[in-house]
Amino acid sequence: MTKKTLSLGPIPDALASELRALTVNAATGSVDNGDRLEIEGSFTGETIGWVGRGTEEDVDEAFRRARIAQKRWAKVDPKKRGKILLAFHDILLKNQKMMMDIIQLETGKSRDSAYEEVIHCAITARYYGNQTHKILKDKHRAGVMPVFTKTTERHLPKGVIGQISPWNYPLTLALSDAMPALAAGNALVAKPDSSTPFSALYAFKLLFEAGMPRDIVQLVTGPGRVVGNSIAEQCDHLMFTGSTETGKKLGEIAGRRLIGYSAELGGKNPMIVTGDADVDKIMPTVLTGCFSNSGQLCVSIERIYVHKDRYDDFVPKFAQATKDLKLGAGFDWNIQMGSLIGASQISTVEKMVDDAVDKGATLVAGGKARPDLGPYFYEPTVFTDVPDEADLKRGEVFGPVVYVEKVDSHDEAVEKANDTDYGLNSAVFGPSKTATGIAEQLFSGTVNINDGYAAAFASVDNEMGGTRESGQGRRQGAYGLLKYTESQNVTDERVLPIRGPEFLKPRAYAAVMTVLLRAGKTFKILK
């Protein structure tokens, strides 16, 4: 029996071994024979548990099992598959406390940031739970000859979907793309990030409790270069979330193998504050847009363009509000910002900040590590006057560091916002009319008006993803499920063969068809 609430110490043995038992590593025995991956708790830097260091053989076994199970699963009524997701919605909400404890232990994030994952996952479960059978329903399309040709669009599951996910949102990024893949009738082979396997494993445990057949999901823990690579080499469609650098490497494998590939990658997300914005009113939402999950969020804001009419009001208020954020370790809901995930992340942030300071940027808030709170805490940090040569100007930090820049016009703000290699998310703050006019000119996969990222992220009936180097394909919405299917065109030529009755010679057929084509277009009979 496991306690209902965890402490900042290790994950209880009973729970850790129950979660390890869900992996293929356990089934093959490699969990006992192979090396261990020690998992560090980000609040303290101490080891909180271990999982197996998976091998290519583990992945082979995962695919062998998944391919057998998928054949049965594909025949299950989509409505029934959806019902499992609806049951998962309830089980997740019921077990949210334990879920958030594990997420926080592994990532060091704040309680409300962990809760964000629970909400997003529950919303996604409800959406695909209710929509799967509607999205997958056969659709009648216009045939070449009205009445004579009946043509239907069907969607077949692709087979076994491979999923590689990151550490920053270990619940929602492990489950929210997996749910539509499974609901579409596929099996899944998934590798959670090596920093946060327990969050993903606990979430899948709840999914199994909701009725998901055990063999349909094969989980392998282990290093990206071994396990992730092997998944990419065997799956029928790859769903990857992570850095642009890894995304490109995996894209090469997907290209060589001619399989479908969805990639949700990095960003350098801009925010625009309009010349008529109410600075006091927008400030709390601006802060969350920048510092939620300590800025380790693909869609979080890293650069803010403020119209000159609001700049002098905005900067001191933003700097003060940033300094006032309450940092700390633990499960307390009042803490506003937690830790970074680990040593490599804090070193990236320190390098970016030091480089900006050395090159002449002005620090207006933060700029220091906080070892007094925990080994990986870093203050939320705001710069102004960042020179073009600073790495911070165009490079993704993926941490709590933001810069503010004054612009003379909304046009200049749009030009600067779009001047990036990325295109994941943008935000515009200001009265709706002004902000909407600006939003329409931004080239990113999501644009949030008077919100940083959450409004678009949580609106799961609408797609999201990245333009340019921020990604390939989309998640969410009907597309987020259909991408895991092969569409099939089934056409029944009724009454007459498409070449007309047998007595019609080719020349006569051509004459009749030409008349019909002309008439079809003129009278708009044909689509």
Q: Does 167 bind ligand NAD (CB under 6 A)?
A: yes
Question: What distances in angstroms separate CA 126 from CA 171, 195, 266, 277, 460, one per listed residue?
Answer: 16, 28, 27, 35, 10
Q: Does 452 bind ligand NAD (CB under 6 A)?
A: no
**CB closer to ligand NAD, 435 vs 451:** 451
Q: Does 225 bind ligand NAD (CB under 6 A)?
A: yes
Question: What distances in angstroms separate CA 343 from CA 9, 195, 266, 374, 522, one per listed residue?
Answer: 19, 12, 20, 11, 69
CB of 288 to ligand NAD, least distance (A): 17
CB of 328 to ligand NAD, least distance (A): 24
**CB closer to ligand NAD, 63 vs 73:** 63
Q: What is the DSSP string of 189-240?
A: EEE--TT-HHHHHHHHHHHHHTT--GGGEEE--S-IIIIIHHHHHH-SEEEE
Give the tokens for residue 284.
């709390």
Q: Does 398 bind ligand NAD (CB under 6 A)?
A: yes
Cα–Cα distance measured from residue 144 to residue 150, given in angstroms and rounded to the nearest whole number: 9
Cα–Cα distance measured from residue 383 to residue 385, given in angstroms and rounded to the nearest whole number: 7
Q: Which of 279, 287, 298, 435 binds ligand NAD (CB under 6 A)?
A: 298
Candidate ranges 21-29, 189-197, 212-220, 403-411; the one touching ligand NAD (CB under 6 A): 189-197
Q: Which of 243, 285, 418, 459 binds ligand NAD (CB under 6 A)?
A: 243
Candidate ranges 75-83, 187-195, 206-214, 513-521; the one touching ligand NAD (CB under 6 A): 187-195
Q: Which residue, 288, 298, 245, is CA-closest to 267?
A: 298
Q: Does 446 bind ligand NAD (CB under 6 A)?
A: no
Q: State whether the Cα torsion 378-402-361-344 is positive or negative.
A: positive
Q: Does 352 bind ligand NAD (CB under 6 A)?
A: no
Question: What distances in angstroms separate CA 303 from CA 10, 263, 392, 401, 404, one per listed residue?
Answer: 37, 23, 9, 9, 6
Q: State whether the Cα torsion 108-113-115-120 is positive or negative.
A: negative
Q: State whether the Cα torsion 375-377-378-379 is positive or negative.
A: negative
Q: Does 424 bind ligand NAD (CB under 6 A)?
A: yes
Q: Which of 194, 199, 221, 384 binds ligand NAD (CB under 6 A)?
A: 194
CB of 243 to ligand NAD, least distance (A): 3
Active-site positions read 264
Candidate ranges 163-171, 269-277, 321-329, 518-526; the one touching ligand NAD (CB under 6 A): 163-171
Give the tokens for residue 217.
């999901």
Can you tell me whether residue 87 is helix, strand or coil? helix
Interface with ligand NAD: number of residues (CB under 6 A) = 29
Q: Which of 229, 294, 446, 485 binds ligand NAD (CB under 6 A)?
A: 229
Candidate ranges 6-14, 244-252, 275-283, 484-492; the one touching ligand NAD (CB under 6 A): 244-252
Q: Does 326 bind ligand NAD (CB under 6 A)?
A: no
Residue-wise over 45-83: b if at least 16 C-beta within 10 A, else e? eeebbbbbbbbbebbebbbebbbebbeebeeeebeebbb
Q: Which of 246, 269, 339, 448 binds ligand NAD (CB under 6 A)?
A: 246
Candidate ranges 24-32, 43-51, 162-170, 302-310; the one touching ligand NAD (CB under 6 A): 162-170
Q: Does 477 bind ligand NAD (CB under 6 A)?
A: no
Q: Which residue, 330, 405, 327, 314, is CA-closest to 366?
A: 327
Helix (H) or strand (E) holding 457: helix 454-458
Q: Does 494 bind ligand NAD (CB under 6 A)?
A: no
Q: Does 181 bind ligand NAD (CB under 6 A)?
A: no
Q: Which residue, 111, 105, 315, is CA-closest to 195?
A: 105
**CB closer to ligand NAD, 365 vs 424:** 424
Q: Which residue has the tokens 């019609």?
A: 504
Any idea what DSSP says for residue 184?
T
Q: Which of 51, 62, 91, 265 binds ligand NAD (CB under 6 A)?
A: 265
Give the tokens for residue 395.
């490079």
Q: Does 396 bind ligand NAD (CB under 6 A)?
A: yes
**CB closer to ligand NAD, 220 vs 273:** 220
Cα–Cα distance measured from residue 274 to residue 259, given in angstroms and rounded to the nearest whole number: 43
**CB closer to ligand NAD, 194 vs 444:** 194
Q: Which of 159, 162, 170, 267 binds ligand NAD (CB under 6 A)?
A: 267
Cα–Cα distance measured from residue 130 to residue 108, given in angstroms and rounded to the nearest whole number: 33
**CB closer to ligand NAD, 243 vs 459:** 243
Candidate ranges 74-82, 175-183, 221-229, 508-516; the one touching ligand NAD (CB under 6 A): 221-229
Q: Which of 162, 266, 375, 380 binds ligand NAD (CB under 6 A)?
A: 266
Q: Does 241 bind ligand NAD (CB under 6 A)?
A: yes
Candidate ranges 33-41, 67-75, 238-246, 408-416; the one touching ligand NAD (CB under 6 A): 238-246
Dihedrals phi, psi of 464, to nearest 5 degrees:
-145, 155
**Dihedral through CA 240, CA 246, CA 252, CA 253, nearest 10?**
-60
* Contacting positions for ligand NAD (CB under 6 A): 164-168, 173, 191, 193-194, 224-225, 228-229, 241-243, 246, 249-250, 264-267, 298, 396, 398, 424, 466, 471
